[in-house]
Amino acid sequence: MIDLKRPRIGWLVGYAGRPVLLLAVWDVLIVLAYKVPHWTWVGSNRVPLALYGAAISIIVGFKNNYAYGRWWEARTLWGQIVNNSRSLARQVLTTMSAPGGDGQEKAEIGSMQRNIIHHQIAFVHSLRQQLRGLDPVAEIRNLVPPEECAELSKERNVPLALQRKMSEMLHEARRRKWIDEWEWQAIDDNLDGLMDSQGGAERIKNTPMPKQYNFFPTRFVEIYCLMLPIGMVESLGWFTPLGSTLVGFMFLVLDKIGRDMEAPFANDIYDVPLTAITTTIETNLRQLLGEADLPEPQKPIDGVLW
């Protein structure tokens, strides 16, 4: 996710990149053709630029709203994962107990609590990696036992396997009466919420925007940009590149914004900042465990928060 406090002019111009440069070259060519050899047929003020511009603005705006909706839903789902992760850790630490148990049993409970919470940390890291198309096991080797890592490397859905393992541990805690039926149900509801959020994120990842949502608006913007100097050269003359490139830049940027936001888990600079979110979750859960070795908060790198 781009996190520029003060966007630089160079970055703003370079955002649209090559299309803006090509548009500027096209504008200059039209002006030279109109002014030097006096090819008046290359320009016409009868081109209804305002009408075309209004129509294309509606089309591009509709596409961008759809793309932003995908991005914001992805961020909302990860907000739910943050909340459910904290609630799960809190419930595990405050409800799991063995009244009257000996020291060994209390130590076993403490070990299970720590194991469940470490598995939840592993869950969010592996889900982040899986959504970004990266190796999910590589990020969790310090959180789960080596033999379990070997098993997880064979799984196609590592976060799901980790959820199953947590469910098994909770079932064992209920069998040993460390939690009662109501406490187990409350914790299981949190696991269901995590599963729902994972399913929503996978739906966004595995369902790209329909091709026509990208193809046609982008082509319409390109055609409109080609028409801009033709419709402006009679009235603006040598100043046509200034007006045409500026208007075309705005339309090209709007089109690119939609294309950049349609894939919030593409592992690029326009992503939802999953690394920062999962680091926050890990910090919160380790603090609940009373651990002192906490990860450093993620900071923007060259204006990008990952």
- 199-222 pLDDT per residue, tens: 999 999 998 888 887 788 889 998
- Indicate whether 107 pLDDT > 70: yes
3-state secondary structure of 45: coil
> b/e map of 203-217 (b: 16 or more CB within 10 Å)?
ebbeeebeeebbeeb
With a CB cutoff of 8 Å and minimum separation 6, the contacts of 301 are none
**Lowest-confidence pick of 96-100, 126-130, 227-231:** 96-100
- Looking at residue 52, what is its pLDDT? 87
For 139-192, give the secondary structure using H, E and C.
CCCCCCCHHHHHHHCCCCCHHHHHHHHHHHHHHHHHHCCCCCHHHHHHHHHHHH
C-alpha span between 71 and 262 (Å, rounded): 6
Predicted TM-score (pTM) of the model is: 0.86
Residue-wise pLDDT tens digits, 60-89? 888 889 888 999 999 999 999 999 999 999
With a CB cutoff of 8 Å and minimum separation 6, the contacts of 51 are none
- Indicate whether 7 pLDDT > 70: no
- Number of other CB atoms surrounding residue 176 within 10 Å: 15
Which residues, listed in sequence order, are joined to residue 301 by a DSSP beta bridge? 304
- The mean pLDDT of the chain is 86
- Looking at residue 285, what is its pLDDT? 94
- Looking at residue 150, what is its pLDDT? 85
- For helices 49-95 and 240-261, what crossing angle results, to 10°? 30
- Looking at residue 271, what is its pLDDT? 87
- Looking at residue 2, what is its pLDDT? 62
* Local confidence band at 1 (pLDDT 50, 70, 90 cut-offs): low
Cα angle 218, 68, 222; round to 5: 10
- Indicate whether 103 pLDDT > 80: no
Residue-wise pLDDT tens digits, 133-188? 998 988 888 888 888 888 888 889 999 999 999 999 999 888 888 888 888 888 88
**Average pLDDT rounded to a whole number, residues 296-300:** 79
Tokens 């961008």, located at residue: 64
3-state secondary structure of 259: helix
Residue-wise pLDDT tens digits, 26-59? 889 989 988 888 888 787 788 888 888 899 889 8
- C-alpha distances in angstroms, 198 versus 84, 121, 126, 130, 136? 12, 14, 11, 11, 14
- Number of other CB atoms surrounding residue 306 within 10 Å: 20
What's the gap between Cα 159 and its chain centre? 18
- Looking at residue 153, what is its pLDDT? 85
Percent of the chain beyond pLDDT 70?
94
- Looking at residue 10, what is its pLDDT? 62
- Indicate whether 11 pLDDT > 70: no
> b/e map of 32-70 (b: 16 or more CB within 10 Å)?
ebbeeeeeeebbeeebebeebbeebeeebeebbeebeeb
